[in-house]
A and B are shown apart, each in its own frame.
Chain A
C-alpha cells in the first residue's frame, strides 16, 4: 500500500483525536530501503517507530556460527519494532529489508515526549502496541508447538 493508504488504514493512526492525528502527520516521514539494507541493528538505540507501507522486512538475529537466523518477516501494514516505547529503548533484533521497502518513520523521542503530555495519544499508542505484542506472543507460542511434523497412522 502507499504511505497515504497506510496513514488512512493503519490501526495505530486511525481513530486518533484531531490534535494527535495532526502531530503524527507532522512527524511521520517516508523512508525507503533497498533489498538487503540494514534498517536497525540488534542492541542499537530504538530511536524510531516504523510502520511498513510496502515491501518486506526480515527480523534476524546473529548466530555467530553461521548466517543470521531469520526470526519473522513483516509486510505491508505491520509495525516494525516495539522496543521504542519501552525502556531501555534498545532493539532486540536486527531488521533488514528483504525487498525494496517503504516505511513510515516517526522519531521515537518526539513520540514518547508527546505521549507524556497527550493522554489520548498515549492510550491509543499503548493499546495498539500491546495488541500487537499479544498477537506476536500468541504467534510465537504457536511456532513453539512445532505443529507441522506431526501425524500417525
Chain B
C-alpha cells in the first residue's frame, strides 16, 4: 500500500464534520460506528492508523480505524466506553455529528508479510486496529503464505466482531483460533491465555511476520514467545497506545522515550520498542 502524504499542520488540526450513519453494539461497553464525511470526501487510510474523534463540547480522543481500507466512502471506528469522551461516543446515534481529524500514525506493514507467513495476535479491543489489516491481508491473500489470527478476550461476551470471526473461521483463507480467560459452562471454545494458541497454527518462524495488538503486557509476552521460537524481532510489529492529543508530534503528550507515538507509532517493531516495554511509567 502506498504511504499517504502527511497532512499540513493547520489542516491536521482542523476537525472535519462526520455524520453517524449507523451504530452497532459489539459488547456491553463497545460499539462500532459507521460515519461519513459531510463534505463527501473519501477517507483513505492505512490499516493500523488512527483518527482523532471530537465530540463537540465533551472532548477529543484517538480512535483506531476498524473499517475496510478499500472502502473509503465510510469511516468505521470501534469504541469502548472507558471515560467521559468514549462514553459520549458510545451514546451517539444517527444522524449525530462528530469532528474527525486524521488519519495519523504508522500502519501495519503488510508488505513485510509478502512471501511469508503472517501471524496476527489480538487481545481484547486490540482486534479493532487489526481488523483493517486482516481485511487487507485477505484481499492480498495470494501474496502471503500461511495466514492466521489468534484472538484472546476476557469472556465470550467480550468477543468483538463475532460475525467476522465466524466468516473468517468458515473460510479456508485464514486459520482462526479464539480463547477466553473466563468462560461459563456452556462455552465450548478455548479457555486460557492467547499464547497457548501459538503452537496450534502453522508458521515457519524464520519466514514469519507477526502483527500483535492488545494490552501491553500481553503484547510483550507474545512478542517474546515468538522471538524465542525464532521469529526475528524486527518482523514482530505491535501497536503502542499512548495519550495522543495533537496527532502531529507537536504537543508531546504521547512521548514514549525518544519517540512521539502519534508519529513514530502507533505501529512499530519489537526491535524498536522492545527495550522500552518493561520501563515503568514510561
Q: A96-130: contact bitstring with B at CB < 8 Å (1 yes, 0 no)?
A: 00110000000000000000000000000000000
Q: What is the minimal beta-carbon distance from B177 to any residue of chain A, in angstroms? A: 9
Is A143 part of the binding interface, using a Cβ–Cβ cutoff of 8 Å?
Answer: yes
Q: Which single member of A68, A70, A147, A148 contacts B191 (CB below 8 Å)?
A: A70
B interface majority secondary structure:
mixed
Interface membership of B153, Cβ < 8 A: yes
| Selected interface stretch from A12-20, A26-34, A73-81 | A73-81
| Chain A min CB distance to B54 (Å) | 13
Docked complex: A136-153 residues within 8 A CB-CB of B: 139, 142-143, 145-153
A151 x B185 contact (CB < 8 A) = no
Q: Does A71 contact B (CB under 8 A)?
A: yes
Q: Which residues of B contact A77 (CB under 8 A)?
A: 199
B123 at the A interface (CB under 8 A): yes
Residues in B with CB closer than 8 Å to A67 are 184-186
Complex-state Cα separation, A146 to B181, whole angstroms: 8
- Is A38 on the interface with B (CB-CB < 8 A)? no
Question: Does B32 sit within 8 A of A, measured CB to CB?
Answer: no
Task: List B contacts of A60 (CB < 8 A).
Answer: 185
Residues of B within 8 A of A68 (CB): 185
Complex contact B85–A153 (CB within 8 A): yes
Task: Report the minimum CB–CB distance from A49 to chain B (whole Å).
Answer: 19
Interface residues of A (CB under 8 A from B): 56, 58, 60, 66-73, 75-77, 98-99, 139, 142-143, 145-153
